Structure 1
Amino acid sequence: MAELKTGYKGKTIYNSTFTILEFLGGGGQGNVYRVECNGKQMALKWYHKSTVDKMKNPQEFYENLKANIKKGAPTKNFLWPEELSNWIDGSFGYIMPLRPKGYEELTRFLLWDPKTRRMKASFANITARCNAAINIIEGFRALHNDGYSYQDLNNGNFFIDPQNGDVLICDNDNVSERGVNFGIAGKQRYMAPEVVLGGAPDKRSDRFSLAVILFRMLFIEHPLEGKYSTPPCMTPELEKKFYGSDPVFVLDPEDDRNAANNQLNTNTLRFWKIYPEYIRDLFIESFGKKSVQPPYDRVIEMTWLDAFVKLRSETVPCPHCGKETFITPKYSVSCMYCGGQLTCTESIKFKRFELPSFGGAKLYEGMTGETDGDFHKVIGEVVRNKKDPSKHALRNLTNDTWSVKLPDNTVKTVDPNGIMPINKGFVLTIGRNEGTVE
């Protein structure tokens, strides 16, 4: 069946009936339709018969989809398969939730629109960009913790709300238990080198793909595409070389064969120095020789998570121009937009993270402990003293009372919506976690 017509009714293996409402779009693997199923509007991905014919073992792929539906989504951020159709004329499809309004495919954040002279989609601010990165990292981590890995990963897998960085992860039909390879051909630009060369995908190769996604979210261009890897005529042999047997990072400090230049890597060169050194170092590690060649060492999700949570905590509104910029605890820096001076003299140091004492800096619940927590729930915000802008306090945005031990060992309480002056030597207790002002 080449294409499903509006009004077509089909059955799933769970005896549900679906009705085609409209065609939404098509791709290399199949078409996507809006359908009604069990009284809800959902999305149906229906595979081209040619896609099924190219699979190593179509029945095994079908059974994997069935197993994934039974197991359920790793988190609510996955547009996970919920229904599986019966086979029809050598093909089949699966039903998943529809993408809500307001979400843009990551691809649009990477494309320039010559008519508007803007990117087709843009993050509202740096915080939204950091939130998106954190959400994607957490999605990978949850997926791997459930024993899965991706067969085919690219920028089309992610839908992002540009206002707040919320992420929905789609195309989860290509998710399987680690080490299982269904022969689904991904895009080489996002594949780990060992997969380009014929190896089976696993969580280690996923980590390479994750690094590519994160790099493009920050710098737009591809980390392996520079003067060496962009010939006038790309051939399959060259593509295999540039992404598989001999990939070179455009900002590799030890190998400049593929160095970034102003024609190909304008955004990379423009934004590279804006980001803190700890972010740059992780990308150098992610695309350095030990990562693109055996032993294929990769930056793990927890390391990425810590880095982007830290980056978000150091993102504040500039008091001079109002735009978000980066602050560094205990240093003076310039706003990346207006050049105004921003000075941060203190910070609240918890076991794993540090909160700069600068107006607008936000404290998230997960930052207070040394183990996993909620990195999306804001529990405090640094506020500036209106009479003396050099002084700051932390506002309690929870419904719980905090306690503060002063240098003379007296203890004060901070009620909900109350504030704690950020003075050196103060020790803040939030639940079982402590943070010291330094």
Structure 2
Amino acid sequence: MAELKVGYKGRTVYNSTFTILEFLGGGGQGNVYRVECGGKEMALKWYHKSTIEKMKNPQEFYENLRANIKKGAPTKNFLWPVELSNWIDGSFGYIMPLRPNGYEELTRFLLWDPKTRRMKASFANITARCNAAINIIEGFRALHNDGYSYQDLNNGNFFINPANGDVLICDNDNVSERGVNFGIAGKQRYMAPEVVMGGSPDKRSDRFSLAVILFRMLFIEHPLEGKYSTPPCMTPELEKKFYGEDPVFVLDPEDDRNAANNQLNTNTLRFWKIYPDYIRNLFIQSFGKSSVKPPYDRVIEMTWLDAFVKLRSETVPCPHCGKETFIAPKYSVNCMYCGGQLTCTDSIKFKRFELPAFGGAKLYDGMASDTEGDFHKIIGEVVRNKKDPSKHALRNLSDQTWSVKLPDNTVKNVEPQGIMPINKDYVLTIGRSEGTVE
């Protein structure tokens, strides 16, 4: 059965029934429909028979889907399979939650619309972009901690809310606990070199794909597509060479064969100089020789998470033009938009993170924690003194009382909605964690 018709009724392996309500769209692997199942509107992905026939072991793929459904989603951010149909005429499908309104496919953030002369989708601000990166990194981390790895990862796997950076991860049917290669044809542009060359995917290859996704979120263009890897006519042999046998980073400081140029890499060259060294260095590491050749030394999720949490903490509204720009603790910089000068003289240093003492900087629960915490829950915000803008305080946006030890060992409480002056050598205690004003 190549296509299902509106009104078709089917049954799942769990004895649930589903009814086709609407055709939503088609892709290389199958069609997606809006269905009613168990009193809820859901999404059904139904595979083309040609997709099933190309699989190495269709029954193994089917049983892997059943096992994933039984185990459940790693986090709520996954549009995870929840029902599996019976085999019908040599094919089958699975049911998952529908994508809510307000989410855009990552692909649209990477495409230029000539009519509007803008990207088809854009983040509201830098904070939303950082939030999206953090959400994707946390999704990968949860997936790997549950023993899974991806089979086929690309820009179509992510739906993002451009207003706040919330992320939903879809197309999880190819996820496997064992990293077994089911023969699903992925996009070589997002595969690790060893997978392009025929190796089986695992969490190390996922980390390469993650780096590609993060790079494109920041710089739009592809990290391996420069003057060397964009021939007049791309062939399967050349594709295998540029993404598998001999991939070269467009900004590799030790190999300029594939150097970025103004015709192919306009956005990369424009934005590369804007982001701080610690972000640039992780991409150099991710696509350098130690990553694309054995033993495939890849940047782990926790390192990426720390970097993007730090980047978000250094994202502040410019007091001159109001747009978000970057500020580093104890530095003077210029706004990337208006060129106005921003100076940060102090910071609050916790065990793992440092919060710039600059108006608008946000403190998240996970930044204050000595181990791990919630990187989406804001617990504090730096505010300026209205009479003296050079002075700052931290407002308590949490529901718990903080304590502050002054240099003379006096201890004062900071109630919810109260403020703590950010003065040298003040020591802030939040729960069991401490931060010192430096």
Q: TM-score range by the shorter chain?
A: over 0.9
TM superposition shift of 1:177: 1.0
The SS at the match of 1:42 is strand
Separation of aligned partners in 2, 1:127 and 1:323: 11
User: What are the Cα deviations for residues 243-280 of structure 1, in whole angstroms up to 9, with x where unaligned?
Assistant: 00000000000000000000000000000000000000
User: What are the Cα deviations for residues 58-79 of structure 1, in whole angstroms up to 9, with x where unaligned?
Assistant: 0000000000000000000000
Separation of aligned partners in 1, 2:143 and 2:214: 17
Contact residue 382 and residue 395 of structure 2 kept, 8 A: yes
Separation of aligned partners in 2, 1:425 and 1:238: 59
Contact residue 178 and residue 201 of structure 1 kept, 8 A: no
Contact residue 106 and residue 156 of structure 1 kept, 8 A: yes
Partner of 1:154: 154
Partner of 1:95: 95
Whether 1:60 and 2:44 are equivalent positions in the alignment is no
Separation of aligned partners in 2, 1:399 and 1:172: 37
The SS at the match of 1:150 is coil
User: Structure 1 stretches of 5 or more lacking a match?
Assistant: none
Contact residue 380 and residue 397 of structure 2 kept, 8 A: yes
Which 4+ residue blocks in structure 1 deviate beyond 4 angstroms? none
Partner of 1:358: 358
Contact residue 329 and residue 347 of structure 2 kept, 8 A: yes
TM superposition shift of 1:205: 0.0
User: What are the Cα deviations for residues 318-373 of structure 1, in whole angstroms up to 9, with x where unaligned?
Assistant: 00000000001000000000000000000000000000000000000000122111
The SS at the match of 2:190 is coil
- Greater shift, 180-189 or 81-90, is seen at 180-189
User: What are the Cα deviations for residues 36-62 of structure 1, in whole angstroms up to 9, with x where unaligned?
Assistant: 000000000000000000001000000
TM superposition shift of 1:178: 3.1
Separation of aligned partners in 1, 2:245 and 2:324: 40
The SS at the match of 1:35 is strand
Separation of aligned partners in 1, 2:183 and 2:264: 32
User: What are the Cα deviations for residues 16-41 of structure 1, in whole angstroms up to 9, with x where unaligned?
Assistant: 11000000000000000000000000
Separation of aligned partners in 2, 1:370 and 1:77: 25
TM superposition shift of 1:184: 1.0
TM superposition shift of 1:165: 0.1
The SS at the match of 1:21 is strand
TM superposition shift of 1:294: 1.2
- Sequence identity (%): 91
TM superposition shift of 1:302: 0.1
The SS at the match of 1:382 is strand
Separation of aligned partners in 1, 2:296 and 2:265: 25
Separation of aligned partners in 1, 2:40 and 2:171: 20
TM superposition shift of 1:398: 1.1
TM-score by length of 1: 1.00
Partner of 1:185: 185
User: What are the Cα deviations for residues 295-337 of structure 1, in whole angstroms up to 9, with x where unaligned?
Assistant: 1110000000000000000000000000000001000000000
TM superposition shift of 1:180: 1.5
TM superposition shift of 1:384: 0.4
Contact residue 396 and residue 419 of structure 1 kept, 8 A: yes
Separation of aligned partners in 1, 2:45 and 2:281: 39
Contact residue 178 and residue 203 of structure 1 kept, 8 A: no
Contact residue 404 and residue 427 of structure 1 kept, 8 A: yes
Separation of aligned partners in 2, 1:347 and 1:178: 45
Contact residue 400 and residue 416 of structure 1 kept, 8 A: yes
Partner of 1:115: 115
Contact residue 150 and residue 179 of structure 2 kept, 8 A: no
TM superposition shift of 1:425: 0.3
User: What are the Cα deviations for residues 103-135 of structure 1, in whole angstroms up to 9, with x where unaligned?
Assistant: 000000000000000000000000000000000
Separation of aligned partners in 2, 1:219 and 1:422: 35
Contact residue 193 and residue 292 of structure 1 kept, 8 A: yes
Contact residue 428 and residue 436 of structure 1 kept, 8 A: yes
Separation of aligned partners in 1, 2:24 and 2:338: 43
User: What are the Cα deviations for residues 76-120 of structure 1, in whole angstroms up to 9, with x where unaligned?
Assistant: 000000000000000000000000000000000000000000000
Contact residue 106 and residue 155 of structure 1 kept, 8 A: yes
Separation of aligned partners in 1, 2:314 and 2:299: 22
Separation of aligned partners in 1, 2:128 and 2:431: 28
- Where does 1:16-415 land on structure 2 (aligned, <5 Å)? 16-415=16-415
Contact residue 151 and residue 179 of structure 2 kept, 8 A: no
TM superposition shift of 1:179: 3.0
User: What are the Cα deviations for residues 132-176 of structure 1, in whole angstroms up to 9, with x where unaligned?
Assistant: 000000000000000000000000000000000000000000100
The SS at the match of 2:131 is helix
TM superposition shift of 1:399: 1.4
Separation of aligned partners in 1, 2:70 and 2:181: 20
Separation of aligned partners in 2, 1:372 and 1:22: 43
Separation of aligned partners in 1, 2:357 and 2:18: 55
User: Structure 2 stretches of 5 or more lacking a match?
Assistant: none
Separation of aligned partners in 2, 1:2 and 1:401: 61
Contact residue 406 and residue 427 of structure 1 kept, 8 A: yes
User: What are the Cα deviations for residues 393-420 of structure 1, in whole angstroms up to 9, with x where unaligned?
Assistant: 0000011110000000000110110000
Separation of aligned partners in 2, 1:152 and 1:124: 29
The SS at the match of 1:209 is helix
The SS at the match of 1:159 is strand
Equivalenced residues, count: 438
TM-score by length of 2: 1.00
Contact residue 425 and residue 436 of structure 1 kept, 8 A: yes
TM superposition shift of 1:381: 0.2
Separation of aligned partners in 1, 2:185 and 2:144: 20
Contact residue 152 and residue 174 of structure 2 kept, 8 A: yes
The SS at the match of 1:43 is strand
Contact residue 103 and residue 159 of structure 1 kept, 8 A: yes
Separation of aligned partners in 1, 2:161 and 2:4: 30
